Amino acid sequence: MSASKSSVSMDQHEVDVIIVGAGFGGLYSIYKLRELGFRVQAFDAAPSVGGTWFWNRYPGARCDVESLQYSFSFSEQLQAEWRWTERYAAQSEILRYLEHVADRFDLRPYIQLNTRVKSACFNEATGRWDIQTDDDKRWSAAFCVMATGPLSQPQLPDIPAIATFEGRAFHTSRWPEEQVDFTGQRVGVIGTGSTGVQLIPALAESAKEVVVFQRTPNFVVPAVNRALKDNELEFWRKHYPQIRHDERFSRTGVWDPLRGTRSAMEFNDAEREYLYRAAWDRGGFGFQATFPDLLTNMEANKTAADFVRARIREAVKDPETAEALCPKDYPFAAKRLCVYSGYYETFNKPNVRLVDLRREPIKRVTPQGVTTDKSDIPLDVLVFATGFDALTGALKNIDIRGRKDKSLRTLWSDGPVSYLGLCVAGFPNLFMLSGPGSPAALSNAVVTIEHHVDLVARCLNDLRTKGMTHIEATGEAQREWCDEVRALADQTLMTQAKSWYNRPPQEGKPRIFVPFVGGVGVYRERCDDIITSGYEGFDLYAHGVEAMRAAAQTATPSACIIAGE
Ligand code: NAP
């Protein structure tokens, strides 16, 4: 075969790396891979950069991880010059930050907005990925980086006649850019997860009536948001290097110097109460870290659950509503903890009403509202805070085909499999950021995204240096990783609640628990070991004789990828 033979057809645009998504993951991928000299092209279906922070602009939307930690660490200059205004940044501030990142690092020329990737197929003849976008363009790339986000595919509830509603209806993750006025409106909210608990107090400020349809109550701990002070920012800037290091080797990607180290059961009731109270008053996810065994020891867990239930009963005046808001049938924090101040107190407002769907299930949506098995509830607006086709939805939405035309959608029909939550056997040179099987779902997303992007960049650079063109997870490594993820989850109480990362066994199908619960730091050390041991669990190879020759002659990976023998 001639070395001059072109690997791509004339109407295909050719780059080294296609990146899908322009949120935190996509933006940092562009920056990092361009820094290493790779030719990249990113796509995003949205009209703006920002990913989840573009789409989730519902009233009250705010990050529940502290802004000084939920931010990029890759550039000290960026870290020093950006001034976060509040302990927890509002959606608009995070979107401004990501727009600033895109401008500051000149990333926009590499992003095509308003463009959805329809398919990505591995072409065995060329050893490259053929990508089709919804503007009918075709692209060819040596590598694909899926920065599609674990929570980006909105999910509507399976309620009968949902489309018949004649009022305005919104999903929180597809909120319109223009302001929505709720004054004088009767608003129904379905869903009380992290999104619902932020949205409901905000709606209650202006709506005539807010009817909250709750299927499962959540544990909500206060955020205690506030403006950030200059001396606080100064402290962080001074100590950032150590803080960022600690985040990377922590359990959840969050620096928390007050994290407890002794079992809840080593303290008496009064001591425990004191420690819970202190964490409660400080606000935030730190409450969950009061004791290290809250998610492994049911007795310890019950002490936290009892404490929160006592706070709910204190906050909510109507005893029946308070009881309905108390989670009782799953362990504390087994579903993702919600963090927001004032959620429970909202139910004391005369314009807010809770409908407990466990006692009064929804029968159907009607043109005028919602019918439960007890009453017709008239509504002007219906808001679905019903979450996402989490972790796999965005990837399954793209027709991804690996070697032998193997479909990722089909492979994952009974739940996702992966190696490290980063790669899938049979899908060479395809990387998922924050994929299923990584710790992303249980972590500070920015820390895990930066880690994954750094891993991908290191891997691409290593391939180039070694004269290799392809990397692919082995089936055996994938099986062992999935077994390990499952076994680790079994050691915790997290499998005892239905959540977007844990699907209990159903209809003869096994339980699916998706995230790696071993912690962000353990995962990082594991990935480092795998790389330094020569990419254990991966096959690295050169595609064709020409590829090896080309790799020896040039340092650019695009030149290494030549049509197969
Ligand atoms: P979610 O946690 O999946 O919650 C969805 C809610 O909708 C649940 O209360 C669920 O009830 C309810 N629901 C679904 N189908 C229903 C039906 N047919 N009838 C009645 N209720 C139904 O989704 P989310 O609140 O959007 O949050 C998802 C994740 O996004 C969070 O866990 C978090 O990781 C992330 N998030 C982060 C922030 C932040 O501040 N950083 C903010 C918002 C969201 P069941 O519990 O009974 O299923």
C-alpha 463 – ligand 1 centre gap (Å): 40
C-alpha 48 – ligand 1 centre gap (Å): 24
Q: Say how far apart CA 459 and CA 462 lie, in whole Å.
A: 5
End-to-end CA distance of the chain: 7
Q: Where are the alpha helices (DSSP H) in 331-444?
A: 343-346, 393-396, 408-411
Ligand 1 pocket test, pick from 212, 386, 499, 503 with the greatest ligand atom count within 8 Å of Cβ, gives 386
Atom index in ligand 1 nearest the CA of residue 362 equals 19
Q: In the prediction, which pLDDT does 547 show?
A: 55
Contact between 240 and 82 (Cβ < 8 Å) = no
9-to-126, 182, 563 alpha-carbon distances in Å: 10, 53, 11
Judge whether residue 358 has pLDDT over 70.
Answer: yes
C-alpha 156 – ligand 1 centre gap (Å): 11
Atom index in ligand 1 nearest the CA of residue 151 equals 30
Q: In the prediction, which pLDDT does 508 show?
A: 73
Q: What average pLDDT score do residues 132-139 get? A: 97
Q: What average pLDDT score do residues 94-113 get? A: 98
Neighbours of 495 (CB within 10 A): 19
Confidence of residue 546 (pLDDT cuts 50, 70, 90): very low
Q: Show the tokens assigned to 177.
A: 């850019």
Confidence of residue 505 (pLDDT cuts 50, 70, 90): confident
Checking 300-306 for CB contacts under 8 A at 24+ apart, the result is 300/263, 300/264, 300/265, 301/331, 301/332, 301/333, 301/493, 302/331, 302/332, 303/264, 303/272, 303/276, 304/264, 304/276, 304/332, 304/333, 305/219, 305/331, 305/332
Give 513's DSSP letter: E
C-alpha 385 – ligand 1 centre gap (Å): 6
Which residue's C-alpha comes closest to atom 10 of ligand 1? Answer: 191
Q: What percent of the chain has pLDDT over 90?
A: 91
Q: In the prediction, which pLDDT does 12 show?
A: 87
Q: In the prediction, which pLDDT does 9 show?
A: 56
CATH topology (fold) of 14-153+390-563 = FAD/NAD(P)-binding domain (3.50.50)
Q: Show the tokens assigned to 263.
A: 């079992």
Confidence of residue 472 (pLDDT cuts 50, 70, 90): very high
Instruction: List, for residues 408-431, the tens digit of each pLDDT value.
Output: 999 999 899 999 999 999 999 999
Q: In the prediction, which pLDDT does 118 show?
A: 98
Ligand 1 pocket test, pick from 195, 212, 363, 391 with the greatest ligand atom count within 8 Å of Cβ, gives 195
Handedness of CA 132, 135, 137, 141 (dihedral sign): negative
Ligand 1 pocket test, pick from 215, 354, 355 with the greatest ligand atom count within 8 Å of Cβ, gives 215
270-to-187, 258, 266, 285 alpha-carbon distances in Å: 43, 19, 12, 22
Instruction: List, for residues 177-218, the tens digit of each pLDDT value.
Output: 999 999 999 999 999 999 999 999 999 999 999 999 999 999
Which residue's C-alpha comes closest to atom 46 of ligand 1? Answer: 216
Confidence of residue 544 (pLDDT cuts 50, 70, 90): confident
Atom index in ligand 1 nearest the CA of residue 215 equals 47
Confidence of residue 116 (pLDDT cuts 50, 70, 90): very high
Judge whether residue 249 has pLDDT over 60.
Answer: yes
Instruction: List, for residues 375-384, the tens digit of each pLDDT value.
Output: 999 999 999 9
Instruction: List, for residues 303-357, the tens digit of each pLDDT value.
Output: 999 999 999 999 999 999 999 999 999 999 999 999 999 999 999 999 999 999 9
Within 6 A (CB) of ligand 1 lie 62-65, 151, 157-159, 190-196, 213, 215-216, 336, 357, 385-387, 500
C-alpha 215 – ligand 1 centre gap (Å): 11
Neighbours of 299 (CB within 10 A): 10
Which residue's C-alpha comes closest to atom 14 of ligand 1? Answer: 386
Q: Show the tokens assigned to 425.
A: 């056997």
Give 124's DSSP letter: T
Which residue's C-alpha comes closest to atom 15 of ligand 1? Answer: 157
Q: Which of 365, 360, 356, 359 is nearest to 384 (CA)?
A: 365
Report CA Rg, the chain. 24
Confidence of residue 96 (pLDDT cuts 50, 70, 90): very high
Atom index in ligand 1 nearest the CA of residue 192 equals 9
Give 305's DSSP letter: H
pLDDT, averaged across the chain: 93
Confidence of residue 124 (pLDDT cuts 50, 70, 90): very high
C-alpha 174, offset from chain centre: 16
Judge whether residue 564 has pLDDT over 50.
Answer: no
Q: Which of 510, 435, 358, 405 is nearest to 151 (CA)?
A: 435
Confidence of residue 82 (pLDDT cuts 50, 70, 90): very high
Burial classification of residue 178, based on how many CB atoms lie within 10 Å of its CB (0-12 exposed, 13-18 middle, 19 or more buried): exposed
C-alpha 143 – ligand 1 centre gap (Å): 33
Secondary structure (DSSP) of 79-109? HHH----BSS-BHHHHHHHHHHHHHHTT-GG
Instruction: List, for residues 168-178, the tens digit of each pLDDT value.
Output: 999 999 999 99
Secondary structure (DSSP) of 492-505? SSGGGS-BTTEE--
